[in-house]
């Protein structure tokens, strides 16, 4: 089978089959990143996604602005959608929203939970209008607990989950924010998965349901195997960490000192160079990655580097200070060896031995990486107001129901009259609503 490009824009789709969610209508009441990114994934799968914004627009429109109301972040996270403006604070907006809900299959909701009753947008109220509705409610911290029901941001959950402590660079005495907003983006993927599963359940049973997502839960997922506890191994090092971190905080230790405490007490092998086969290295002209968790690939890496790892010796003991020093020396030898040749030379040498390796690109360089470019992992789109731009393409691909992009993001208020007209509002009714400020962008 010949290789297919990953991304096929709508303009080149031709007679490709419709997406898996063709015919599904989604109403998105989402702002900033997490739930808008969910809407993008559903759009790529073929769903009709209608983004509902207040008259002033999603606040994300102001991030990295190119022109007023059109910022880079908003454009990237809202492609393939229709855009309508409704002032949900107005009582006259209720029948407008009701008409849209009655025709929807899915509602994506990321308004602050405490605001939902005020706008009559709770699941219970919308379910009365449409019992088959799939209602995804985003609760950043979950429903329970001291933060339950509050709004939240990626940076806060990174800190609470331990992700920031592990991944952040130091910014003076404190950690720097981890960017990009990884908890937001993970929540978008997880939310899309949950919506699709709920749609399958509805197909089988006829039942709609409420689905919940959480930034904090997503951030804990991202922490992965570093946020686990095993009774067989962890009570002693975790107790040791608890005592050491309390002492460090008590004497005013900064972020790097506190991270050293964590590594020294919980993952001491890290400082000894134990991750030699799974890391980034500097070369004579840049940086490369090497990735292996296989003894066979590890052996091939040693062969390419012409170095011996003391851990292959049966008598090696990680608790022996002399062996610890030998391991450090091995790690330093690997680093020195990689500095002898260029990135391209090392990547070629590793790949010749079937060793996973690649360049370390800065974001602007990723557009021209041949592996990325030839697969068309980026989407090239044309915005109504700001022109051509590149952004991430569909995150997965399917043979029978291909994913594709459906245009760039909507300018503010672009589709209000068209969407509401399809929902049954007459031209006179729309004119009246617009004149009253119930629909349409603010002045």
- The CATH number of whichever domain residue 54 belongs to comes to 3.40.50.10540
| pLDDT band at residue 310 under the 50/70/90 scheme | very high
Q: Which domain holds residue 335?
A: 229-360
Taking only the tens place, the pLDDT of each residue in 228-277 is 999 999 999 999 999 999 999 999 999 999 999 998 899 877 776 678 99
Asked whether residue 443 is domain-assigned, the answer is no
Which tokens go with 88? Answer: 């949900």
Instruction: Convert the pLDDT of each residue in 326-370 to its tens digit.
Output: 999 999 999 999 999 999 999 999 999 999 999 999 999 999 999
pLDDT value of position 267: 82
* Cis amide prior to 249 (ω within 30 degrees): no
- Give 236: exposed, middle or buried? Use CB within 10 Å, 0-12, 13-18, 19+: exposed
- Taking residues 397-414, report their average pLDDT: 95
Would 387 be classed as within a structural domain?
yes
- pLDDT number for residue 209: 98
pTM, entire model: 0.93
d(CA 101, CA 178): 37
Residue 5 inside a domain? The answer is: no
How many domains, in total, are found in the chain?
A: 2
Q: 85 in helix, strand or coil?
A: strand
Q: Chain-wide mean pLDDT for the chain? A: 94
Both tokens of residue 336?
């020195």
Q: What DSSP character marks residue 227? A: S
User: Band of the pLDDT at 46, cuts 50, 70, 90?
Assistant: very high
Same domain, residue pair 111 and 206: yes
Chain segment 142-186, per-residue pLDDT in tens = 999 999 988 899 999 999 999 999 888 888 899 888 889 999 999
Query: 379 near 40, Cβ under 8 Å?
Result: no
CATH number of residue 240's parent domain: 3.30.1540.10
Q: Using an 8 Å Cβ cutoff, are 327 and 310 in contact?
A: yes
Tokens standing for residue 96: 């407008």
Averaged pLDDT, 365-389 = 95
Picking from 331, 360, 389, the residue at the C-terminal end of a domain is: 360
């Amino acid at each position: 089978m010949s290789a297919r490009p990953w991304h096929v824009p709508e303009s080149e789709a031709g007679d490709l089959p419709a997406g898996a969610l063709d015919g599904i209508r989604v109403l998105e009441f989402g702002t900033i990143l997490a739930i808008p990114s969910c809407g993008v994934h559903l759009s790529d799968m073929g769903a009709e996604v209608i983004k509902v914004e207040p008259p002033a627009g999603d606040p994300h429109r102001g991030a990295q602005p190119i022109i007023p109301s059109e910022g880079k972040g908003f454009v990237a996270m809202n492609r393939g959608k229709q855009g309508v403006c409704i002032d949900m604070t107005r009582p006259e907006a209720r029948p407008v929203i009701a008409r849209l809900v009655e025709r929807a299959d899915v509602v994506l909701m990321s308004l602050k939970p405490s605001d939902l009753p005020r706008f009559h947008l709770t699941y219970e109220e919308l379910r009365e209008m449409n019992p088959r509705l799939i209602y995804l409610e985003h609760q950043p911290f979950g429903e329970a607990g001291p933060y339950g029901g509050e709004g939240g941001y990626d940076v806060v959950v990174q800190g609470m989950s331990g992700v920031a402590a592990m991944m952040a660079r130091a910014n003076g005495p404190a950690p720097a924010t981890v960017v990009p907003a990884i908890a937001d983006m993970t929540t978008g993927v997880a939310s899309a998965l949950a919506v699709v599963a709920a749609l399958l359940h509805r197909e089988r049973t006829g039942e709609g349901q409420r689905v919940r997502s959480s930034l904090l839960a997503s951030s804990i997922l991202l922490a992965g195997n570093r946020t686990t506890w095993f009774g067989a191994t962890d009570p002693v090092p975790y107790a040791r960490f608890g005592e050491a971190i309390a002492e460090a905080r008590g004497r005013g230790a900064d972020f790097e000192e506190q991270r050293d405490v964590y590594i020294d007490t919980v993952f001491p092998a890290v400082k000894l160079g134990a991750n030699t086969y799974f890391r980034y290295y500097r070369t004579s002209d840049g940086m490369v990655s090497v990735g292996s968790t296989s003894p066979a690939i590890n052996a091939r890496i040693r062969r390419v580097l012409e170095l011996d790892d003391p851990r292959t010796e049966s008598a090696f003991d990680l608790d022996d200070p002399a062996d610890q020093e030998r391991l450090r020396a091995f790690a330093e030898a690997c680093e020195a060896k990689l500095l002898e040749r260029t990135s391209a030379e090392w990547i070629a040498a590793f790949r010749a031995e079937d060793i996973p390796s690649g360049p370390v690109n800065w974001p602007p360089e990723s557009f021209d990486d041949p592996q990325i470019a030839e697969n068309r992992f980026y989407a090239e789109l044309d915005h109504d107001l700001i022109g051509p731009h590149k952004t991430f393409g569909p995150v997965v691909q399917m043979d029978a129901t291909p994913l594709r992009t459906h245009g760039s993001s909507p300018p503010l208020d672009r589709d209000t009259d068209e969407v509401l007209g399809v929902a049954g509002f007459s031209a006179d009714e729309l004119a009246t609503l617009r004149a009253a400020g119930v629909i349409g962008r603010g002045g």
